[in-house]
Amino acid sequence: MGILIGGVVVALIGLVLWIIMNKRKAKLNVMDNYENTSASEIIQNHQFFEEEYGKGSFSNFIEIRGNVHCEKPIQSEFAKEDVVYYKSVVTREIEKRVQRRDSNGNVRYDNVRSTEKVSENERKANFFVKDSTGEVMVDPEGAEMHTMKIFSEYEQGENPSGTWFNFGGISFGSLGNGSRVLGYKYEEYAIPMNSHLYVLGEANDRAGKLRISKSNDKKQHFIVSTKTEDELKSNLQSNINIFKWSAIALWVIGAGLAVFGITKMI
């Protein structure tokens, strides 16, 4: 019975992977179905709808490429660069002495290393994506962000009991439970000023002025990416292939286990 149940569980995991694969495939199809729209085209379409139907009537799913422009950028936490979005992450590496007992009852002690996230901070600002024909505002709230790493630094050193570790004005205390802090890793991901972006989302004037933002339709994608469209599509296709063949492999294994489990029960 246990082998049969195991086979069913493996097959269900395969089904989950297949569902994830189909979601990735749907996103890829959306990206394939839209061609690049210039800023001037988006502005002209908005003006037409505003004149014909009034403010708040415009909604058009678009794809646009251009450079980041922002009059009031924000400063990233670690790199201190002007950006329109950043996420800073601090993780620490820990070493803990763990007691283990083998099958003969002998006790030994091993040093086990692990990492854990200490903090994560994210900030974003509205900005414009600018091409050769004009610029359109982007409100990045709720977007799927594909950023670039602009900072990475590792601070080594044990954190003795009762002391504090400081970096960039941020202090972290020791664990105080017998574990040893080997060091802290500081990383920052951002969209710097003047970055070239690929944006897929809904151009609308729901907030009173033209902008690209997250659609009210939860099925619609909203992507803001420093990667090119081709890079995103290539990554998606790789993920689709991995999920597809992993799901098929799990179904074959699950079916084999189920058959074996049934024969054992007969």
Domain limits of the chain? Answer: 2-265
Q: Return the CA Rg of the chain.
A: 26
Q: Provide the pLDDT for residue 95.
A: 85
The percentage of the chain sitting over the pLDDT mark of 70, rounded to a whole number, equals: 90
The tens digit of pLDDT for each residue in 188-200 reads 999 999 999 999 9
The tens digit of pLDDT for each residue in 168-179 reads 554 444 455 557
Residue 157 has pLDDT above 70, yes or no: no
C-alpha closest to that of 151 among 166, 139, 168, 164: 168
The percentage of the chain sitting over the pLDDT mark of 90, rounded to a whole number, equals: 58
Contact in structure between 189 and 225 (CB atoms under 8 Å)? no
Burial 18-43 (b: 16+ CB within 10 A, else e): bebbeebbebbebbeeeeebbbebbb
Q: Provide the pLDDT for residue 162.
A: 39
| Encoded amino acid at 212, one letter | I
Kindly give, in sequence order, each residue whose CB lies less than 8 Å from that of residue 193, ignoring residues fewer than 6 positions away.
68, 69, 70, 73, 81, 82, 83, 84
Q: Between helices 2-33 and 229-265, what is the axis angle to 10°?
A: 160
Residue 51 has pLDDT above 90, yes or no: no
What's the pTM value of the predicted model, to 2 decimals? Answer: 0.79
Reported as type and span, the H/E element at residue 95 is strand 82-101
Q: Provide the pLDDT for residue 199.
A: 96
Highest mean predicted confidence (pLDDT) among 93-107, 162-176, 228-242: 228-242
Q: Provide the pLDDT for residue 67.
A: 97
Q: How confident is the model at residue 166 (pLDDT cuts 50, 70, 90)?
A: low
Residue 102 has pLDDT above 80, yes or no: no
Q: Provide the pLDDT for residue 258.
A: 79
Q: Provide the pLDDT for residue 32.
A: 83
C-alpha closest to that of 222 among 160, 166, 138: 138
Kindly give, in sequence order, each residue whose CB lies less than 8 Å from that of residue 162, ignoring residues fewer than 6 positions away.
174, 176
Q: Provide the pLDDT for residue 266.
A: 66
